[in-house]
Chains A and B, each alone.
Chain A
Amino acid sequence: MKRKMFVVLCLIGMCSFAFAGGGNERSAEGEPQYPKGDISVLIAAAAGGGNDLLVRALLPSLERTLKVSVVPVNQPGGRGAIAFNEVASARPDGQKLYFNSKSVLLMKFNGIEEANMDRLVPVAQVAEDVTIFFVRSDSPIKNIKDLINHIKTSKERVKSANSGMGALWHLSQILFCQTIGSDNILSIAYPAGSSAMLTALVSGEVEFVTCGPEAKSFIDAGKVRPLCVVYPGRYPSFPDIPTLKEETGLDYDYPVWRGFFTTEGTDPKVLKILSDALKTAVESEEFKKFTAIGMIASFKDSKTFGEIVDKEQKSLEVLMPGVMAQIKSADSSGGKK
């Protein structure tokens, strides 16, 4: 009997604590106070990857500014869709952030219907990288003009590597083809990412690769030759590589941004606080040390970043359905032209 009494007492105690807690939260909701507790950042990538390291480099400064713990949570499941869903369906209080690259815009077109950008609101852009064109270091192709010539005159389609059909680098190649006015390339998917793409380039399976600054170790090892970057000016991490525009006069706009998002409907005041905190973080010493590796810090506040996202979203709506249809028809015909 005594034991039962004790259990009942414990339960009553627990309930009262729970209700007390609930009551407190409700009373706090009236004031626009932010942050209300620890913030979690859902990273749509595994621990140790580029996106993960980037977020972790920003955390110390964020914690100093916001005076709460900022907890990174890696959720690579469902290609980032699970993390997307969790943030999109959270309470719009800015306590849950989502971090991803430009790929977040492509998810919707790759068959993940719930990844609708209307459900998220951009907070800030923190970094940017670029498309770099590579060939094997012993290739007869010495510069980007040679490559364009080769693509235009080759009898067989020129083989290139991407990180997935309809994904980031494939799209960059499609835009490149539109720019030079020839689609004589056969782009092959290497879903494991840049390292697999560059390995395929070194083995001679493909003739050129487009990917970002993560190729630095391959450049340093003398295995690949960078031809050009697609960027408005010389790219600060690789000042020796010429731009597409200065080599050929042609250009296309393809910034590969990385940034933070949160739940749609979040108070603009909260967005401002977060955006300012991120600005400080991007300028912090810890982040400068990190970006020395290759990627460049590039801060854009909530408003500017939002405009960029909207603009790209609109152009992708036009471009992507055609691209996806083309990919599917190419595969069902067994790769035949």
Chain B
Amino acid sequence: MGSFDLYLVGWQLIDPQVFIMIFFGTLLGIIVGALPGLTATMAVSIIVPLTYKMSPVVSILMLLGVYCGGNYGGSISACLINIPGTPSAIMTGLDGHPLARRGKAGLAIGMATLASVIGGLFSVFILAAFSPIIANIALKFKSLEIFGVALFGLSVIAYVSPGSTLKGIMVGFFGLLVATIGFDPTLGVSRFGFGSTNLLGGIDFVSAMIGLFGMSEMLANIEKTKKERDFGFLQEKVTKTWDALKYIRKLKAVLLRSSIVGVIIGAIPGAGGTIAAITAYGLQKKVSKYSHLMGQGSLEGIAAPESSNNACTGGAMTPLLSLGIPGDAVTAVLIGAFIIHGIVPGPMMYTTNPDMVSAIFIGMLLANIMILLIGMPGAKYISKLLKIPSQILNSLIIALCIIGTFAIKNSLFDTCVMLVFGGIGYLLSKAKVPKAPIVLALVLGPIMEENLRRWASLAEGKYWTEFVNAVLTNPVTLSMVLATLAVLLAPVIMKKKHFSEDDIQFTSTTGDTDPNEIIFAEKKK
């Protein structure tokens, strides 16, 4: 195969139907992302069951559209009503909202759109360029290395998840415990089945995920009072979104830096768009000459987190495609979608399904272009959706959660699993415990267990000799061991979390003058 075939062979799979479904996927993602309380993770998990009957290419590319669109959509509500539509838009509102208050809602959303598209496109190129190389290395990965990558992913999430580290680790272990239900991976002996046939196959993690992210959010929404639900919609017309275009060249350093941050953080298993946005914003605040103006409506403060959280998409897809390990919670759901369609994500995909890999690159490219085409002219219509009464929206989503979980295996038991996890998720949010570690533990737990057990069988009892031997002879094993140790020990040594939300002041003020006039006036000289 020629070196460029991987980028071209997928075009033959892109027919008008695929094109249309990417469009609808992206649109759906933007809408769901824009609605507060509905996250990109949730958007993808409730749409997975709707794609069962589609062909693998159509459904995977549509889901990628939802993923990319969902990551961007949150910025619309962040700018307009100062409530992030998705957690990853958490930083966008800090500057987007003050700018919108100044009567420049169009400029704020335009900037967020352009930054998202640039970050997204950048990450697709990185994904296309690096994932085949990583996959090639990963082909030599044996059980111990795969175990190492999964363990690293799990240790990272406990460290970087928002809120308390201890709580993150606690729920991570809860997830691992749930993951042990079902058949033992090597012996085929049933564990924790309690005599129930339904538990033989274990807890279906897509159902658990829909419960944790979909159902529990709905439960939390229901108890909100009317006053809390009407988020004081900003009566601001979203016009002149294209005005943002003229600032792009001046912000290119910001965009590039934040996109790189996004891709790197996305590629770390466990860390996701939220952390990418927070890090990029924090970095921008450190390096910017106008850091004192950030929080008052600075375009830098919109461009940095938005390009970073969308750059996360390509970053998170890199380990998924090249190692079969998800980069964030959404890609964890995507694994389920791949498997439903009979595709096992991992290094062999480049050999066995090169057309699929290629179509994924092209699909993500198209999805980002769709964001531009839908977001720039469509933002003003999407912003009107924020006025949908939440009663209607909540019931619709609860219905989708129930139908979706039933459809996975045609089993009511899975719907019950969803409801139970909805309750668990609700209680966890009340206790301010992060939920993402559970999902990652549910996905990574079986991978870890299976590979560790397999390595143990292969070592035939000589564990220490085999382990030391592997660490000394294989640089991948060595670096995985070191990286995991570093991540686990860092909080103890530094006594402080790096990416804590508490470090960043969530305040934004409206100063007397538009900060962008100062920033860009001086830059012109």
Which segment, of B100-108, B151-159, B339-347, B372-380, faces chain A? B339-347
How far, in angstroms, from A167 to B188 measured CA to CA in the complex? 9
Partner of B200, one of A81, A193, A204: A81
A191 is an interface residue with CB less than 8 A from chain B = yes
Residues of A within 8 A of B291 (CB): none
Residues of B within 8 A of A50 (CB): 342
Are B351 and A46 neighbours in the complex by a CB distance under 8 Å?
no
How far, in angstroms, from A112 to B340 measured CA to CA in the complex? 24
How far, in angstroms, from A78 to B200 measured CA to CA in the complex? 4
How far, in angstroms, from A85 to B196 measured CA to CA in the complex? 12
A188 is an interface residue with CB less than 8 A from chain B = yes
Which segment, of A69-77, A257-265, A279-287, faces chain B? A69-77
Are A335 and B460 neighbours in the complex by a CB distance under 8 Å?
yes
How far, in angstroms, from A218 to B344 measured CA to CA in the complex? 14
Residues of B within 8 A of A110 (CB): 188
Closest to B1 in A: A221
Residues of A within 8 A of B457 (CB): 186, 188-189, 331, 335
Q: Mark A30-63, 1 if CB is under 8 A from B, else 0.
A: 0000000000000000111110110000000000
How far, in angstroms, from A190 to B139 measured CA to CA in the complex? 16
Closest to B343 in A: A48
A255 is an interface residue with CB less than 8 A from chain B = no
Are B456 and A79 neighbours in the complex by a CB distance under 8 Å?
no
Within 8 A of A (CB), among B402-459: 409-411, 413-414, 450, 454, 456-459
Evaluate whether A203 and B351 lie within 8 angstroms (CB atoms) in the complex, with A114-B197, A189-B185, A192-B344 already known: no
B132 is an interface residue with CB less than 8 A from chain A = no
CB distance from B261 to the nearest CB of A (A): 32
CB distance from A161 to the nearest CB of B (A): 9
A66 is an interface residue with CB less than 8 A from chain B = no
CB distance from B206 to the nearest CB of A (A): 11
How far, in angstroms, from A217 to B413 measured CA to CA in the complex? 36
Are A75 and B459 neighbours in the complex by a CB distance under 8 Å?
no
Evaluate whether A205 and B460 lie within 8 angstroms (CB atoms) in the complex, with A48-B341, A199-B347 already known: no
Q: Mark A202-229, 1 if CB is under 8 A from B, else 0.
A: 1111000000000001100101000000
How far, in angstroms, from A78 to B341 measured CA to CA in the complex? 19
Are A189 and B197 neighbours in the complex by a CB distance under 8 Å?
no
Are A74 and B458 neighbours in the complex by a CB distance under 8 Å?
no
Closest to B59 in A: A48
Partner of A203, one of B139, B201, B409: B139
CB distance from B340 to the nearest CB of A (A): 6
Closest to A73 in B: B410
Are A199 and B348 neighbours in the complex by a CB distance under 8 Å?
yes
A165 is an interface residue with CB less than 8 A from chain B = yes
How far, in angstroms, from A297 to B394 measured CA to CA in the complex? 49
A159 is an interface residue with CB less than 8 A from chain B = yes
Partner of A77, one of B53, B185, B201: B201
Evaluate whether A204 and B339 lie within 8 angstroms (CB atoms) in the complex, with A112-B200, A186-B460, A196-B344 already known: no
Q: Mark B457-497, 1 if CB is under 8 A from A, else 0.
A: 11111000000000000000000000000000000000000
B143 is an interface residue with CB less than 8 A from chain A = yes
Are B351 and A186 neighbours in the complex by a CB distance under 8 Å?
no
CB distance from B50 to the nearest CB of A (A): 13
How far, in angstroms, from A3 to B299 measured CA to CA in the complex? 60
CB distance from A4 to the nearest CB of B (A): 26
Closest to A189 in B: B186
CB distance from A255 to the nearest CB of B (A): 22
Are B409 and A75 neighbours in the complex by a CB distance under 8 Å?
yes
Evaluate whether A335 and B461 lie within 8 angstroms (CB atoms) in the complex, with A48-B340, A76-B409, A165-B188 already known: yes
Q: Mark B200-235, 1 if CB is under 8 A from A, else 0.
A: 110010000000000000000000000000000000
A336 is an interface residue with CB less than 8 A from chain B = yes
Residues of A within 8 A of B204 (CB): 77
B189 is an interface residue with CB less than 8 A from chain A = yes
Are A82 and B454 neighbours in the complex by a CB distance under 8 Å?
no
Partner of B450, one of A75, A166, A191: A191
How far, in angstroms, from A166 to B190 measured CA to CA in the complex? 13
Closest to A216 in B: B352
Residues of A within 8 A of B140 (CB): 203-204
14 additional contacts, CB 8 Å, given A53-B342, A77-B411, A164-B188? A48-B340, A77-B413, A78-B198, A79-B183, A81-B200, A82-B198, A82-B413, A191-B188, A195-B352, A196-B344, A203-B141, A218-B352, A335-B460, A336-B461
Q: Which residues of B contact A (CB under 8 A)?
A: 52-53, 56, 139-143, 183, 185-190, 197-201, 204, 339-342, 344, 346-348, 351-353, 409-411, 413-414, 450, 454, 456-461
Q: Which residues of A contact B (CB under 8 A)?
A: 46-50, 52-53, 73-79, 81-82, 85, 110-112, 114, 157, 159, 164-167, 186, 188-193, 195-196, 198-200, 202-205, 217-218, 221, 223, 327-328, 331, 333-337
Q: List 8 A-B contacts (CB under 8 A).
A: A77-B201, A81-B201, A189-B187, A190-B454, A191-B186, A204-B140, A204-B142, A328-B189
